[in-house]
Structure 1
Amino acid sequence: MKLTKFPFLAIALSASVLFSCEKEEPADLVKPEVKTFELGTSNSQQAYAGKDIHIASELVAVNTISNIQVKITQKSNVTYASKWQKDTTYTGVYANVKNTTFHEHIIIPVTAGTGMYDFTMLVKDTKGGVTEVKKDLEILSLSDFTPPVITVTAAPANGATFKKGDVISIKGTVTEDKGIGIVYVGLLREDQKISDTSLNSTNSISLALGYDFKTPTMAYPFDANITVGAAKDMFKDITGTNAWQSGKYYLIVVATNAYGANYVVSPHYPITINY
């Protein structure tokens, strides 16, 4: 009997053996990924004693995020007028999700010594994976004490009533003599009892945020709106303590200058939602 050779079959079998050995990395070994990262106004990596520092990052994790740790420490080779460091671990809305927008502002005490610091952010997942971001952070003395000015040109009438499907709007401009740092427009329930200085994008419904100013910006117009019953705001699902419900709410606008200074707040614009 004559045997017929099939060289292409041998090649195919060899290839299958080769590729079967090239296994993908197990999911539990894939560390969290930092898609984007910002530190300081316009990603300047600078902050000012007595004010806050902006931190923002887009994060993705094959395994869900467990927590995010932020550390600010003084360098061993730098002499400081006074000691200060910060070590905070965040969970809450950032935990038990596969992707999130991490956005926080850390207050730097006015007594913090100026100079270069080490900034470290550790993103940890539920499988023990850790991704580290290290940056130099310069803490400076504040040099702009003039507060921004918030001018609201259109807002709901005092006590106006909205129902599911209605659109809530507010419009105006923020101006500043040396440059705007942050503009934030939020919607809160009165019974949340959140102080104006504690307001942030996680404890309120976010209508607008301006912060990534590449060049000094002296005027920032905002025209913000949200539909009652919307599933999401600018950053997150509207759930938990922020979930829509009937009650008394208010709109608010806050702003700082480019140095993180002079946190100013608009009047409250009270409304009623019948959900």
Structure 2
Amino acid sequence: MKTNIMKSNFKLLAIFTFLGLFLNSCSSDDDGVSDASAPVITNFEFGEGSDHSTEPFAYKGSDLHLEAEINAEGIVRSISIDIHADDVQVGEDEVEWDYENTYTNASYLVINPTFHEHIDIPSNIPAGEYHIVLTVTDELGNSTEIEGHLEILDPIVISDFSMDTTVQRGSDFHVEFMIDAVNGIHNITVDIHAHDLTIGEGEVEWDYEEIFEDGFHEEIEAEFHKHIDVPLTAPAGEYHVLFTVEDEDGNTKEYETHIDVTA
């Protein structure tokens, strides 16, 4: 009788041992999936696309270079880029820029790919600081992201502007400012015109436009310093003054102001 009980206990012990080993094996298999290392992103760099710069800035109207090394135990399923602004103000004739793209090129859907892309930067977005996030996801569902900050700059900057606020007709007024143009200056246009001024006896409507190129063409940095004559016959009143700097890539920067012409 005791022998039969012992045999039964031995069989139960064997069954429990088998079940324990089986469940432990399943658990180990599950852990093998969930514990697989997530992709590792190294040497993440971004900057001006023209010279593959690693400095974290680029210019409106140009392109942005991005590159990163990816080490992944599982085959990469996708690589995503997200670029959005951090508290930049959208000016007149500008639009907000949020960039998102997911790359599934065959060259990236491998183990340990090198990510390398160029992204066009619109010319009509606000300059300022942008947040950039690179996310890598593998076929096991593991994902890793790395982030940084990108400064988007104007390709043309007008600074230290100074101009007379009033001018007597028959004389001239003075204007000067500094220009920084990373692509080189093509020309500078000055446009002066009035709105709804009454033309008196002996007066002639005055619309002024002149393009300045000599001394500025292809210069990266220059000082604009001119004296502009106002005809003696110009009607007195307020005039709108617009300065437009165009660079060698066709980008433009405007600066507008007003001047009062007195009799």
- Per the normalisation by structure 1, the TM-score is 0.42
Structure number with greater CO (CA < 8 Å, separation at least 6) is: 1
Larger Rg: 2
- Per the normalisation by structure 2, the TM-score is 0.44
